[in-house]
Amino acid sequence: MRDRAWHPPALTPLYKTSVARSPQRAPLSFATTISEETSPVFGNDVLGPLDNDLIHNFAKDGAGAIGPRIVVYGRVVDEANRPVPNTLIEVWQANAGGRYRHKKEGYLAPLDPNFGGCGRCITDENGWYEFRTVQPGPYPWPNGPNDWRPAHIHFSIFGHAFAQRLISQLYFEGDPMIWQCPIVGTIPTPEAIETLVAKLDMGATIPMDARAYRFDIVLRGKRQTLFENRMEGL
């Protein structure tokens, strides 16, 4: 079961779009079945050589994206702290100036011709993942009259059960905008928010190249084991 007091509730009026997009009736509960305890499989054969390198995967030959170069890495585990190997992670983000490459985005900061903003990777056998990118900039958005998102990277993680499917956002240690943001503020507790803040990790930097941030991800559920001829529930 998900701890719904830990996750943001559906209705969070300070994040205005949630008002008309939140169910009003309680979600119905049932114990998971094989439909929720299975999930699609993605092998390394779906990945191209630059899929986890956002500095170069959209850039022209010999060029690279402009902005502070960083490595983002971490481990995906379940709630019992066991690694989640071979699972797909997709990321997307704005460029160093806070501009997204999307036709519905009208922020006046320019696009970077060498930055697309998407990347993906698959965790290794111990649950580790890594990608390279430029640190995204904050950007203004039409919610309150002067709301700005903190610098953030969107994450999509599959896990090994469809009930583990998760989308969230990474924020950066020390960013004062985190505590101003109505989307961050949908999360009820500061403790839960802190788990979305990637930590600067100088020990993992690549000298004269890129700094590193560590961001660990926890998926719901114990790792499933066979028990009396059926999957154990999540």
Partner 1 sequence: MIRDVTRLKETPSQTAGPYVHIGCTPNFCDIGGVYPHDLGSKLITGDVTGERITIKGTVFDGTGTPLKDALIEIWQADSAGLYNSVNETRGTADANFTGWGRSPGDMDTGEFTFETVKPGAVPFRDGRMMAPHVTFWIVARGINLGLHTRMYFEDEAEANAADPILSKIEHQNRVPTLMARREEDGVYRFDIHLQGADETIFFDV
* Residue numbers 8-37 binding partner 1 by CB under 8 A: 8-10, 12, 15, 17-37
Are the CB atoms for 200 and 211 separated by under 8 Å?
yes
The answer to whether 173 contacts partner 1 (rule: CB under 8 A) is: no
Binding of partner 1 by 214 (CB under 8 A)? no
**Pick from 14, 166, 200, 204: which binds partner 1 (CB under 8 A)?**
166
Buried b (16+ CB within 10 A) or exposed e, 61-88: eeebbebebbbbbbbbbbeeeebbebbb
DSSP string, 129-167: EEEEEEPPPPEEESSSTTEEEPSEEEEEE--SSGGG-EE
Confirm or reject binding of residue 79 to partner 1 (CB under 8 A).
yes
Is 148 a residue that touches partner 1 (CB under 8 A)? no
Cα(176)–Cα(197) distance, integer angstroms: 12
Residue 100 among the catalytic residues: yes
- Catalytic residue status for 15: no
Contacting partner 1 (CB under 8 A), which of 70, 71, 84, 91? 91
Our answer to whether residue 171 is catalytic in this structure is no
- Return phi, psi of residue 118, to 5°: -120, 150
The whole-angstrom separation of Cα 113 and Cα 63 is: 10
Q: How far apart are CA 77 and CA 189, in angstroms?
A: 22
Question: How many residues lie near partner 1 (CB under 8 A)?
Answer: 92
Is 7 catalytic? The answer is no
Min dist CB 209 to partner 1, Å, is 22
If one asks whether residue 227 binds partner 1 (CB under 8 A), the answer comes out as no
Binding mask 105-144 for partner 1 (x = CB under 8 A): x----------xxxxx------------------------
The CB-of-144 to partner 1 minimum distance in angstroms stands at: 15
Interface pattern 30-69 for partner 1 (x via CB under 8 A) = xxxxxxxxxxxxx---x-x-xx-----xx-----------
Among 68, 113, 173, 230, binds partner 1 (CB under 8 A): 230
Q: Which residues contact 177 (CB under 8 A, 6 or more apart)?
A: 138, 148, 149, 150, 151
Q: What is d(CA 115, CA 65) in angstroms, rounded to the nearest whole number?
A: 5
Q: Which residues contact 23 (CB under 8 A, 6 or more apart)?
A: 10
Q: Check if 107 is active-site.
A: no
- Cite the active site residues: 100, 139, 149, 152, 154
